[in-house]
Structures are given as structure tokens and as C-alpha cells.
Structure 1
Amino acid sequence: MQLVINDLLQSNENPEFIQRIVWVDNKHHLCFLVNVHEPSFPYSEEIHNIENSLNKGEFMKVAIDPWAISVDEEDLSKQEIEKRDKAWLVINQIYLIPDLFIPKRRAELIKLASKKFSISTKTVRQYLKRYWSRGMVKNALLPDFNNCGKQQGKERNFNKKAGRPYVYSSAIQRAAINEEWKKIIRISLEKHYFIRSKPSLKYAYQQMVKEHFSKEDEKTGYKVLDMDRPVISFDQFYYWYRKWFKPEDAIHKREGRREFLQNYRAITGSATEDSMGIGTYAIDATIGDIYLVSSFDRNKVIGRPVIYLTVDIFSRCVVSVYAGIQSMSKESVRLALANAFEDKKEFCKRTLDMDIDKDDWPIHYLPHTILADRGSELISNELTQITEDLNIKLQNLGAYRPELKAVCEKYFDLLQEHISPFLPGAVQKDFMKRGGKDYRKKAVLNLNEYVQILVRTVLYYNNHNYLMGYPLTQSMIQENIPPIPIEIFKWGLHKGTGLLRTIPLNAIRSSVLPKGSAKITPKGIKFGNLYYTCSIALKERWFSKARIQGSWSMGVHYDPQDVSNIYIRIDRQKHEVCTLIKQYEMYRGAMIEDVESLKSDIKHKEAEYEESRLNGAIQLAQDIEEIVKNAKNEAKQIPNSKVPKDIKNIRENREKENLVMKSENLVYPNDPKVKLNSVSHETESGKVLDIFRKKQKEVLYDGEN
């Protein structure tokens, strides 16, 4: 093992014992060493003994020099430079090898240097010992001015108050801080300052003075300063607070670790560093800053939407955007994920009737990781099952730690701040001020139109947002990749850094879309008060069977963003698409929230009309009863009304009645072809008419009340 000058040898038994090799005498196989922590003249050891100790593990070479210093010349004071340079001249004068390592010759050299430079021999010896123990370089001779004023390992004790005297005298006595006072300061800080109500340091000082440096006034009963003994000043109190506690310690104690990590911790690095390329998606939800109206009736405000964003951490690309009026739920998360995995061109055409270019939003892949917070819908077993089925790692972040997915959080602010000035019905901060207008009454956009605006804004940020300060990799710089989200995503896709995967549309429907239960009825497949049909239902005559054997239920998948279709799983690989029957074509392309809202409105109108309907029915009943009552009264006036009715000749009576009605121009009053002559009651025909009338009354009325 080769030993060279300035090697450091550390003892394994005593790590504090470190020796420095200051010269190697290969001629006599000797090695000269010094103890770096106890400056002394060199002592010799045989080289083979040192090598044996190193081989046995008794000593080992170390690379860290405890005396190594790095200092710029500009940082040194003039006095330090003078002292160092003077010592350096002395060392250069006497540093003769091997004479300096021979004790008798070394003593002669020290005496010569002492006479030449007019310094004591003790000073020369100190220069040599410092030079050998501290690394044998010029700066090893620097004086230890940087340690001046410090007491290593303990605090200084004072007999009188430290610091400059007071300019203005006071009746309050002051004194130096002692151990008892330090204890009082610590107790007061813990009791009155490091609490969640976050009072001021001045308040904590006043409470300390009240509790520990005051006495009760005999006259008033209030506590007053005890003027017979010294009192801690606020400057002393503040000094020891700053000496004992760092700024982050105070935040930890006053506001808690969670608040510190969220708003006060050091912000180093970038989210890109942890994403390991594209394919780490962050998902989150918020309430939209706008009030929307119903798709079927723009006079009805339906409230604020819930927005879900999915963002790729590495590229900053918005993977999907979903908005709905239902609350944050497992179904809304399913739809947000379905949007993320689906072809965006087809999605926009199918649900929004928008035409976009495929290259504008070419993101329809499964990620390897999904970052989510601890919302109830994001830690559910259902979402866990979806990610396990699709081989996606689900990582739920700590509670109240939105900064861990700051990319997603920032996009909420960017999107809403960008579009809010354009949108009527957007939330305004001056709503509650005097004279402020109710922005809710200005709402005109429905949910579908709002989602179109969000999609357009997302396309802008994906394709035109230049990311200032984005940490481009060396490979990106070489390939001249601009820091634009979609370009970074395409680059990562080309390089294969994210290991993204695709998924068939059937798999999205079966694994991601919400599940529901439909009923096979004679009228069709009933789901959500709508009726659907499909080819397999017609082929296998489901609706006829339902009418004969009764209805039955069947599981389906549905897309709440478009009720035009539902999906029935035929087997493990196939799905049947069911479409609305013609009777419900009005709902094609509508969202399930709109359908439910319309159904609710219809029920509400039915309830409002209930009073009018019942009043009409009551009036009708009264009219019928009045007519019947009059008929009964007229029947009672006929002679022999108690005689049983003639029911034997009903057909003949009907023909005679018909003849009478024709004669009175009652059957065809406006027919010019029917020409009736008036008949005198004194003729035979008049007599016959009277008889017919009597018979008619006998048939119609039984004479009973």
C-alpha cells in the first residue's frame, strides 16, 4: 500500500486520533507523522508497521481533512494576511529536508530563523506545528480570528447586563440574564406565544411580566410591577427568543406542521423531477366560478358546476376536463377518467358537437400513476378497483397538502381567471357590497356551452402556453423541443419515457363508465325514465317476453354526458349499444342532469296544476249531478211513473225516437238535403209524436229518486 505525504490515518479504536504523514523517508523506510488535533513535532514509524496496521484494520485512510479550509483572498482581513504571510516566510526559510526532521538540526534552524526575523523560538516552533498539523499549505498558517468572541460548548455568563447602556434612565431595575430568568422566558414563550391563537411576542412578554415580575397592590387589588427587584426587558426577552428558536420552529409550534409544509417549507426542485417522464397524472376537482342555466329553459339557474381536471405532471398537459352539476362523487370521477382515456376528437364530437383536429389533443392513454388527494370519492374502494383492473398505481397524497399536486391546482386558477371576464354569470367579489349587482341573474350559459369554453381554453394552454422556467432536459435542448405542453408530451411519447398504454373503447365502457340497472319492459329497455332499444332485443324478442312473462332487470353502463346510448354487456368481450326509441329523440345528445332537471320541472308543473285539475273535476261532478237531478224531477211528473219501464221494444222505440229527432231538425240541423215540414199537433202525426215522447220518458226514467 502506497503511503504519501499528507495522507490521514484514523484509528478505528479512537476515531478522534488522526495522524498526518508529513514526510516519507524511503531510504530508511521511515514515515514521519503528527497528530492533527494535538500539534507537535513529527515522530517516526517504520513504513511496514504502518502498512501492517492498515491491513489489519487498526487504522484506515480518511479523505476528509478536519483542518481543510476554503477561503477567498478578498474575504481575509489585512491583519490576517499579514500574519499568514509572515509565518509563511519563516517556514520557507527553515523548511529543509531532511534536516528539519532531525531534532538537533531542527533546533539550529529554529534559532537562525528567530534571529533573522526577530521573533522568539517559541513562535517559530508554533508556526511549524501549525503548518504540519493543519495540512501543510499556506492557509494553514492563518490565525484563528474567526473563532474570536466565541465560547466553545457553553454560553457566556455575565455579572451585569450585557449590551450598550440605556440612553434614558428608568425607575425599573435591569440585570443580567441568569439561569432562573432563562427558565421563566422559556415557560412564558411556550405558554403565551407558541399557541394556536397566534398572539404577538409583545403579548407574551407582558404576560410574563404580569405573572413573574409583579405584585398585588394593597390599595387597588391590581397587579403592578415589583419595583424592588430587577425586571427582564423586552430586548432581553426578544434576544433569547431569537437565540433559541428558528423561524420555522415558531411556525411549527404556532400553526402546526401541516401549515408549515403547505405554505412555509423550502421550495426546491420541480414536480418534473419526481414524475419520471410522461404518464403521471394528477386529478383534482373544484367548484366552477360561474352560475349556469338549464339546457331546456334558460330562465332557470341551476347553480355552479363541479370541474375535474387531469394533468400530466411531466409535460404540464391537461389530459382531460370534465364538468357536471352533480356533487363530487364516484360517478364524476369515473367520467373524468373516461375522458382522460378516450380519444378526444371522438369525445368532443360525440358529447359537445365540436370538431377538433386529432393533433390538437392527441392524449388518449392510460398512465402508470394517478396522484389524487384524500377526497371521499378519490379514496373509495371503487376507484381502487378501477385502477387495479387497469394496472394503474393510485397514489393518495396527504390530507390538506394541495401543494403536492400544485400543477393541477394552478391550472384551476389559470383556466377560470382566463375565461371569467368573458362569461356572464361569473362569480364577482363585490356581490355583497352596497350597490353590487347579483351576478347570478346574468347567467346565460348552459353546461354544454360552458364545457365547450373549457375545452377551447385547454386546447390553448396545451398548444400555445410557453412554460417559462421549465426544466428542459439535455436531450430536449439538443432536439430543440420548445417548452410547450403538447410538444413536451409528444417528445415523451416518442422517447417512450412514460410507458403509456392504450385501452379499447369497450374496456373504457366496462371498467370506467358508471354502472346502473335497466329494466326490460314491453315498451322497451327502461333506464332513467327513458326507453331504449337494440338489435339483440329485437332479435330475441325481449319486449314480447316482458309482456308475457313480466319485466326483468339487467346491468348496463351509461355515460351521463350523453343519454343517447347505454351499453349492455353481452359477454366478457362484447357490448351491445342501445339507442333511444323515436318517442324520446328529443333527449338525444342531452346530459343526464338535463334530463333529470326536465323531468323535475314536469313534475313540478304537474303539482302546480293539481289544484286546477281538482277544481275542474269538482265542477264537472256538480254539473252532472244537476242534470241528473233535473231529469229525475221531470220523470216524477209523468203519470204512472211508478209503472215498470217498457224494455221489450227497445229497437222500435229507438227508430221512432230517431224519426222524431229528424222531424225536429235535431239530428241534421244544418243538412240542406233534409227537408222537414212542420206538423200540427192536431193531426194524426202529432198524436203519434206525443205517444212516442211518453214512451221515451218511460224507457229513460224509472221514476225512482
Structure 2
Amino acid sequence: MQLVINDLLQSTENPDHIQRIVWVDNKNQLCFLVNIRKLSFPYSEGIHNIEASFNRGEIIKVKTDPWAISVDEEDLSESEIEIRDKAWRLINQICLTPEIFDPKQRSALIKIASKDFALSTKTVRKYLIRYWTRGMIKNALLPDFNNCGKQYGMDRKYNKKAGRKFAYSSSIQRGAITDEWKEIIRISLEKYYFIRSKPSLKYAYQQMVKEYFSKEDEKSGYKVLDVEKPIISYDQFYYWYRKWYKPEDAIHKREGRREFLQNYRAITGSATEDSMGIGTYAIDATIGDIYLVSSLDRNIVIGRSIVYLCVDIFSRTIVGLGVGIENMSGQSLRVALANTFENKKDFCKRTLDMEIGNDDWPIHYVPHTLLADRGSELISNELTQIVENLNIKIQNTGSYRPELKSVCEKYFHIVQQHISPFLPGSIQKDYMKRGGQDYRKKAVLNLSEYTQILVRCVLYYNNHNFLSDYPLTQNMIDEKIRPIPIEIFKWGLHKGNGQLRTMLLDAIRSNIYPKSQATVTPKGIHFGNLYYTCSKAVKERWFSNARIQGNWKMEVYYNPQSVATIYIRIDRQNYEVCSLIEQYEMYRDAKEEELVSLKENLRLQKAEYVEAQMNGAMQLAQDIESIVKQAKEKTKDQSLNGEVPKDIKNIRENREKEREVLKREQQAVIDQQNIGKQLNKVNHDLESVNVLDIFRKKQKEVLRDEDK
């Protein structure tokens, strides 16, 4: 049994006794655990003892983390963020391994942190225990404000100006901030402060007062304060500026994104960190060398795919794969990261309907470091937020320095060069040259089939690629480790020198999958032009309520690789899985981008058919008008003095007479058809008799000639 950090071990005798592994030594002989239900420091246990207990059935691995939470940054209050970030800085300072697990050294570290952060030693101990018991990520340090008191998020409203009274009276009236004033403050900041000329905040306040709280003086013609009405104070203006905008927001808006990333953004990780050990993953993307067709309509070419590869630098094992037709963006990056962290056997079965063995691709771990280049999606706030929540360091290579992640770059070349001769629609050297072939016309593979081929290539290179130039260490040579990526990875995992962690599927959904807005309608949960349902919606009669009270919006998480399911977050720990309703099951295996492409094609076809549709409508109108005109003319023939007498008293009798007329007409038609059939039969019989007489006559003539 392989033990890694963050594994949960539950006692079979006492289900409430759950232990979390918080550290494994480099020799993979000793580990430290904490009881996630009790407030205590980690205690050591021999790995062989744990394995023995596991073999005897005394403990089992738990798949659900009771402390796993999912929370959006914008949903947190300022107080929660402040407490969490302060605790996080404290943890990063004192959580040194293995010193923190020695009681004497831990006590010394706690006293130092208590003095540096002006906190009691009791509070420092509380932060440490909370960090270990709740999953060792940044959000584990969030206070439990959500369990008590009034929920945050609603601004308190005042009838009079908040704060202490003024020491000195003034002719200027002050008042409480209203929604109208808030809108004025926001507009003024955007108009007069967040501009490239970089004026002061005082200037923006003065411009706001001049525009919204002034009137024209009749004598001088200048604008002066309108003291008859309340005026926003500078302190109020400054308070709402600090409340709404973070310092980095002002730099983004006033100096631009490039200046912020170059001189002001947080610097995490180190470009010189030693990667001798599994757990440093390099990630990169490229455009696939093959044209693909839509899985919904193979006559539609959807272009070339975007391929993400995530490679462990130490073992050179491909640990993650992301394939899509979405441009290189935060969404396509999330697909690759989700694949990197989840169980590959489950992924292949769920997404590709493809069976692989448990040992074919047994890599589903969270790294300690992520190495990325300068791509826009790889230096984004989105990626920064993901890696901070998962406690992953990120290293960004310098511009135009692909050699710093050469393993990942090389694998792109190897994989695409190996499969190119086999795939119709792949681009060759004469692409875009005069006289070259149009490879788009040869495309036959869809995105799912191409992904299956890439997965097969990954399995081949992980399990059968002999790295002849790999620098084996002396320990590897002594243990007769072959230079094959998966064997090197397993060796590093066994030695524990990579400090990898596991992540459950629910945690992947909450931290990796993108979120969006869905609408609850009478037809189902509408998202991405499809409709979904779930047991919670049926039980609580969402769709009936939507038909009675109207639609409403809700946030959902979704996997861009598959439209088969979406996820609704019930609270910080529980999710509801929503599946497609029956009439949309044909789209189960489609990708989100393919549905978008299909909708665009339908709109194009509709636009091209507008002329024919309008011509048909005009022809229909003319036909109706012609029939009505003829009816009017026939009616005039039966009119007396220009009017047609209408028998409206005997409608029922008239209806019966008309029905009898229709029956007689139908019977006449049937009789005429029967007479036609009988005549055809008689004619056919006559023709047969005539042919027989001619044959007999000819036969007699032949016999007469023979007698002569």
C-alpha cells in the first residue's frame, strides 16, 4: 500500500476515528498523523505498522474528506480573508519539515511566531492544528464564521451618517451613503481616477463634487457647492474606494496589466528550485497537427485542436493531458489540470468510453510545483488563484526560454511526429505551399477519437519508452531501476522524495472546474443550450415552481470536456450532479465547443434560407388570397341585391345535408375506381385472347408450309 500526504485512514471499529497523514519521511519508513476529529499535534507511526493494520482490515482509506470545503474568493468577507491570510503567512514561516514535528523545536518555532505576529502561543497552536486537520491548504485556515451569526455579504443601511459627530460645525451638510451616492462614487472613480494620467484620489473627489454636488453661481458664472443639499465627504469617498478596490486593481486600471505583472505581482516559487524528485510538473500547450471533424456531423470540419501536456520533470512521465478546440485560455488550462489530478482510469471510462488497466496510468497526484511559460493563461490571476488554493508553488520561466521546460517541449514533437503518418487530415511539410494538398478535405477523426489516440501514445511513452540518456542515480542503479518513465515515477513515489498529495474528485470540481450561470426553467435546468435535471430539482419541484413563479438563475460547475453532467454546489461540502434530460441524450458524448460549432452552423443555414422562407411565405399568402377571391366571386353569383342570404338558424340540419353530399361524392369516386379496374381487367383478357389467336394462326401457317 502506497501512503502519501493527505491520505485519510479510518478505523473499522470506530468510524469516527479518522487520521490524516501530514508528512512522510524521505526513507518512507515513518509518517506523522493527526486525528481530524480531535485538537492535537501530529504523532508518529511506522509505515510498516500502518500497512500491517491495513492488511488485517483494521483501517481503510477514506474517499471523502469531512473537512473539504469549496468557497469562491468573492464570497468571503474582508475579515475572513484577513484572518486566513495572516494565518497562512504564519504557517509558511514556521511549518518547516521535519523540525515542526519535533516537540521541542516546534515549541521554539511557536514562540518565535508568537512574537513576530503579535499573537498568543495558544492562537499559533490553534492555526497549526487547524492547518493539519483540515487538509493543509490555504482555505483550511478560514474561520468558521459561516456556522454562526448573520451571513456576510449584505451592506448595512443607515438613516443618518455613520461615525462620530464632527467636532466643529460647518455650513456643509453630511448624510448617510445611499445607493444613488454609491453609484456616483463608482462612476467618478472610473472616470477621474482609474485613467492612465494617474491623478490623485483627491483630484477624483474634487471632480465628483464639481459635477454632482454643485450649482452655477448667478453672479460669477462659476460652479459653487450646493450647500442646500448633503454632500459626500472625502472620508466617505475614500472608505468606499478602499472597500471596493484592492491595491492591485488600481495598478491594473491606472498602469496596465503589463506593468502590474512586471513590477507589482506576487513572486511565488523559485526558478532555481532543485527538481531532483518527483512532484515538479511542467505544463505547456501547442496546436495539434491534424484537422478534426465534428462528432455531431462528420461533414463539418472544426479545425485543429489545442493539446496540453503536463510532464513530471524528474521522471519524464506524462502526468496529464488536455485536448480541446477552445483557444489557449483559462478554461482549456482547467481541463488539463483536472485531468492531471484525477484518476486516469475513471477519466478514460467517463469521458472517452475507453478501458485502461489500473497500472497503465496510475498517476493522480497534486504536485508541489508547477512550471509554466509566459503564456497568457499560465500567468493569469485564474491560475494564481487555483495554485494558491491547492498550496502549489508556481514557477514562470523567462520569456523566450523554452529550454527551461525542454522535456515538455520535446514530448510534443515526439508524440505528433509518431502519430502523424497514421492520421488522415494531418499536416505535412507542403502545407500552405503552392500546389500543396488541402488536408482539411481528408479529415475523418473527431475530437474524442483523436484524444483516444493521444492517450494510447501517452500510455506507450510512459510504460515502454526506454530513456537511454537518462542520468540514473546511484540508488537507482543499485536497485536496478530501468530508465522507463513510469518505473522512475513509482521509484520516486516509493522513496517519498516528491511529497505528492492526493485530491478527491469533489475537490477537483470545486477548485479546478470553471463555473457559470444556469437558469431553472419549466423545461429543466438550462445551461449551454441544453437542459438538465437532478434528484434535488425533482424532489423540491423546481420546474413546477419555475412555471408558476418564473425562472431564476443559479451557479453551476461544469467540465468543458463533457456536456453530459453539470454540478450544483449545495454548500461548502456537498454537490448535486445534474444529468441531461432524455431528449438531449444524443449530445452526451459531444464537447462544449462542438455544440457551439453546431449552433453556429444552424444559424448560418437559417440565414442562408431566409430568402427561400420569405418567398414561400409570400407564395402562401398569394395562394390564400386567390382562393378567397374565387370564393367571393362564386358567392356574388348567388347574391340578391348584392347580399347573400345566410341560413344561420338550421346549422345542424345544414351540416347533416353537407355530410350526406360528401358521402355520395366519395362513393362516386370509389365506384369510378372499381369500374376502371374492371375495364383494365377486361382489356387485359382481350389482349391475352388476341395474342393467343395470332399465335395459333401462325402455327397453322408453319404446319401448312411443312406439308407442301
Q: TM-score, normalised by structure 1?
A: 0.55
CA RMSD of aligned residues (A): 2.2
Q: What is the 5 A alignment of 1:213-252? A: none
Q: 2:273 & 2:665 partners in 1: Cα distance?
A: 102
Matched residue of 1:275: which SS? coil
Deviation of the 1:671 alpha carbon = 12
1:314 aligns with 2:311: no
Residue identity in the other structure for 1:419? I
Which residue of structure 1 aligns with residue 649 of structure 2? 648
Q: 1:310 & 1:614 partners in 2: Cα distance?
A: 53
Deviation of the 1:361 alpha carbon = 0.8
1:593 aligns with 2:593: yes
Residue identity in the other structure for 1:521? T
Q: 2:309 & 2:656 partners in 1: Cα distance?
A: 81
CA separation of 1:515 and 1:654: change in aligned 2, threshold 3 A: same
Contact 1:568 1:575 in 2 (8 A): yes
Which residue of structure 1 aligns with residue 338 of structure 2? 338
Q: 2:666 & 2:323 partners in 1: Cα distance?
A: 70
1:535 aligns with 2:535: yes
Deviation of the 1:571 alpha carbon = 1.2
Q: 2:671 & 2:588 partners in 1: Cα distance?
A: 50
Deviation of the 1:500 alpha carbon = 0.4
1:512 aligns with 2:512: yes
Matched residue of 2:406: which SS? helix
Deviation of the 1:601 alpha carbon = 2.6
Which residues of structure 2 form unaligned runs of 5+?
A: 1-270, 675-708
Q: 2:338 & 2:432 partners in 1: Cα distance?
A: 39
Deviations 1:470-498 (A, max 9, x none): 22222111111111110010011001101
Matched residue of 1:305: which SS? strand
Deviations 1:394-427 (A, max 9, x none): 1112122111111111111111111112111111
Q: 2:273 & 2:551 partners in 1: Cα distance?
A: 57
Matched residue of 1:615: which SS? helix
Q: What is the 5 A alignment of 1:532-681? A: 532-640=532-640, 641-642=642-643, 645-665=646-666
Which residue of structure 1 aligns with residue 430 of structure 2? 430
Q: What is the 5 A alignment of 1:472-491? A: 472-491=472-491
> How many residues end up aligned between the 2 structures?
403
Q: 1:665 & 1:543 partners in 2: Cα distance?
A: 50
Tell me whether 613-622 or 445-454 shows the greater mean CA deviation.
613-622
Contact 2:389 2:511 in 1 (8 A): yes
Matched residue of 1:328: which SS? coil
Q: 2:662 & 2:405 partners in 1: Cα distance?
A: 90
CA separation of 1:358 and 1:633: change in aligned 2, threshold 3 A: same
Contact 2:296 2:590 in 1 (8 A): no
Contact 1:286 1:307 in 2 (8 A): yes
Deviation of the 1:348 alpha carbon = 0.9
Residue identity in the other structure for 1:357? G
Which residue of structure 2 aligns with residue 408 of structure 1? 408
Deviation of the 1:435 alpha carbon = 4.0
Which residue of structure 2 aligns with residue 155 of structure 1? none
Matched residue of 1:482: which SS? coil
Q: 2:608 & 2:668 partners in 1: Cα distance?
A: 42
Which residue of structure 1 aligns with residue 324 of structure 2? 324
Which residues of structure 1 form unaligned runs of 5+?
A: 1-270, 674-705
Contact 1:662 1:668 in 2 (8 A): no
Residue identity in the other structure for 2:597? S
Q: 1:643 & 1:469 partners in 2: Cα distance?
A: 104
Q: What is the 5 A alignment of 1:390-469? A: 390-469=390-469
Deviation of the 1:376 alpha carbon = 1.0
Matched residue of 1:377: which SS? helix
Q: What is the 5 A alignment of 1:248-287? A: 274-287=274-287
Tell me whether 566-575 or 600-609 shows the greater mean CA deviation.
600-609
Which residue of structure 2 aligns with residue 7 of structure 1? none
Q: 1:509 & 1:589 partners in 2: Cα distance?
A: 19
Matched residue of 1:526: which SS? strand
Which residue of structure 2 aligns with residue 690 of structure 1? none
Residue identity in the other structure for 1:376? S
Q: 1:410 & 1:403 partners in 2: Cα distance?
A: 10
Matched residue of 2:585: which SS? helix
Q: 2:442 & 2:665 partners in 1: Cα distance?
A: 66
Q: 1:365 & 1:447 partners in 2: Cα distance?
A: 26
Q: 2:429 & 2:406 partners in 1: Cα distance?
A: 24
Q: 1:606 & 1:524 partners in 2: Cα distance?
A: 26
Q: 1:451 & 1:519 partners in 2: Cα distance?
A: 31
Which residue of structure 2 aligns with residue 256 of structure 1? none
Contact 2:519 2:526 in 1 (8 A): yes
Q: 2:303 & 2:326 partners in 1: Cα distance?
A: 10
Q: What is the 5 A alignment of 1:136-155? A: none
Q: 2:512 & 2:498 partners in 1: Cα distance?
A: 22
Residue identity in the other structure for 1:645? K
CA separation of 1:503 and 1:637: change in aligned 2, threshold 3 A: same
Matched residue of 1:657: which SS? helix
Q: 2:605 & 2:538 partners in 1: Cα distance?
A: 36
Deviations 1:531-571 (A, max 9, x none): 11110010000000000011111111111211111111111
1:385 aligns with 2:390: no
Contact 1:661 1:667 in 2 (8 A): no
Contact 2:481 2:488 in 1 (8 A): yes
Q: Rg bigger for which structure?
A: 1
CA separation of 1:457 and 1:639: change in aligned 2, threshold 3 A: closer
Contact 2:635 2:644 in 1 (8 A): no
Q: What is the 5 A alignment of 1:130-209? A: none
Deviation of the 1:380 alpha carbon = 1.1
Matched residue of 1:360: which SS? coil
1:297 aligns with 2:301: no
Q: 2:656 & 2:477 partners in 1: Cα distance?
A: 106
Tell me whether 536-545 or 606-615 shows the greater mean CA deviation.
606-615
Deviation of the 1:615 alpha carbon = 2.0
Q: 1:601 & 1:670 partners in 2: Cα distance?
A: 53
Deviation of the 1:652 alpha carbon = 2.8
Residue identity in the other structure for 1:454? L
Which residue of structure 2 aligns with residue 104 of structure 1? none
Deviations 1:166-197 (A, max 9, x none): xxxxxxxxxxxxxxxxxxxxxxxxxxxxxxxx
Contact 1:335 1:514 in 2 (8 A): no
Which residue of structure 2 aligns with residue 60 of structure 1? none
Deviation of the 1:627 alpha carbon = 1.0
CA separation of 1:286 and 1:639: change in aligned 2, threshold 3 A: closer
Q: 2:660 & 2:649 partners in 1: Cα distance?
A: 19
Deviation of the 1:642 alpha carbon = 2.0
Deviation of the 1:650 alpha carbon = 2.3
Matched residue of 2:333: which SS? helix
Matched residue of 2:499: which SS? coil
Matched residue of 2:416: which SS? helix
Matched residue of 1:282: which SS? strand
Deviations 1:620-671 (A, max 9, x none): 2111111111111121122414265332332233233334444444799679
Contact 1:389 1:511 in 2 (8 A): yes
Q: 2:662 & 2:352 partners in 1: Cα distance?
A: 66
Q: 1:272 & 1:349 partners in 2: Cα distance?
A: 39
Deviation of the 1:273 alpha carbon = 8.5
Matched residue of 2:557: which SS? strand
Q: 1:555 & 1:668 partners in 2: Cα distance?
A: 65
Matched residue of 2:509: which SS? helix
Q: 2:377 & 2:557 partners in 1: Cα distance?
A: 19
Q: 2:544 & 2:486 partners in 1: Cα distance?
A: 53
CA separation of 1:662 and 1:611: change in aligned 2, threshold 3 A: same
Contact 1:558 1:566 in 2 (8 A): yes
Which residue of structure 1 aligns with residue 194 of structure 2? none
Q: 2:488 & 2:664 partners in 1: Cα distance?
A: 96
Q: 1:434 & 1:530 partners in 2: Cα distance?
A: 44
Residue identity in the other structure for 2:388? E
